[in-house]
Structure 1
């Protein structure tokens, strides 16, 4: 009997191992292989994996972005997506503070000054921005741009407000047409931030003659970790990240940062972050390590679930923008660890053609 139970136990282990090793059911439908061609110009998306400029060393200066901006401008996107939460999503999260209190504090600015100046809440301001853009003149006046900037601020679309601010001559960046002194000071202060949504996306949009950028980040998968689990959860994830791949990425960043002062120093960072091999390096250092993190509470798997959900919803936001105007050429600027997930999920879409960032950055 003991021998029989032992045999059954071993057989069970073998079966479990075989189940884990086999790929399981494979669907026969592959949307990535059914891309048309569509009627008319295809949707093109260039995913630009970016460092967060706020995390670069003090040797970083905005002028170092010029070689990158020149290449992106030459590609001529007609829409730009950024890693920022839309005003509408912040409005939703504010209605569910028990879950999103930390996210609101981190990602959602106080809109009270802009709403007081315009008399518009978030939904009304978003509707007004859409109404204005639907009949936007080819050569808007400075007053129209100031007014649209104020509406964008009330809508929670601060990066789009900055596009309007940058498109104004410096002498016209003043309080009027819905912008008061407080809002002007806010916009001027944001122009000094080390933020890729401003220094790359909004700057490029203004140069290209675009009227806005698209906020496509998503934090609705966020949730507050119970206080009694925060310490254990943080320690488990940090332990998973303590691996040779993370060390190699850190060492590579140190070398790249040391060359920031060179003419193409920052461009070299973007080339490295967008190289094909960067995807698996990020996976092994971060999400792959978290997936096999062994805590009984499955902290690592919780984290991977959040990460995949966030990226799926971000890509859904991008697809929504593309669906509004078929034939769009979009530049999607996002933190470099998101890039492989963006590309993998976008590749599944029938009406999306990916563009190799390496070709554009050459």
Structure 2
């Protein structure tokens, strides 16, 4: 394909992607309520004669010349959204274009990423010279870390050699992502009358543990993600002013790095505080990809920068090297009057294709 034809091809795919994104914006898709946007994605593949699979509200498809003897790469992003906050001044379900911006709920997080990845997949779909198979997965429930999104698709897929997860990163390379560990802790004392020297105040016990949590620093620091971060975010105790509380509960938000497993972090905490510690889940693990991986090197060769992401995405559910990257800016996510620049979508499609072309040529 000559240069002019390649440019025209990208422009056509960009226009298709923007049309799809407008439809997605105008279709409510709160987490667990993504059935109608899943149908829109089905329609997109049907119009292109691309066979697809559906499980719950998740849609995935394979390249035409899938070869079980080749490694497979996964392109993934989500089509669920958070609920709009009260600060919106525009209609969150109207795809409004103004000053080169496309406004609407989910435009930036992560609709722009999803349609750009779908455009890149379509570009490679019928190629018979690929060194990797490609599977695209448009998944649900990412915003709530739900269990009926990417997690139920993974068992249906072949072994994944590496993945690109579409989230707004300004098309920079998030080569690592912190994991999330939520711990519910219980300090136990003994109730008594507050006016007398009775009881064993559970709040005071909890405060000693919280003091340790606020001051402790894990020894190993990740070169890309920095230190493990612990924050006590909820505390509850007491029933009335004159009763010494026998129970105090508190919650720790732990942002884990690739230097520790979640189990190791729990073990350290349990060994240093008196309160009982219970993990809500150990599903959302830290993620990373080597700096010398071909997809990272492809991005770096295009002048993109690598960094560690403090936020958590569906990348945490993948047990393979994964890169988080997509058009749009993270700071616009979940904000009032959310938007993405139209040029960001075209640039995102272009960069996805160029990076994948470089990997395919290795």
Relative to total residues, which structure has the larger helix share, 1 or 2? 1
Fold shared by both chains (TM-score > 0.5): no
TM range, smaller chain: under 0.3
Provide the TM-score with structure 2 as the length reference: 0.26
More relative contact order, 1 or 2 (CA 8 Å, 6+ apart): 1
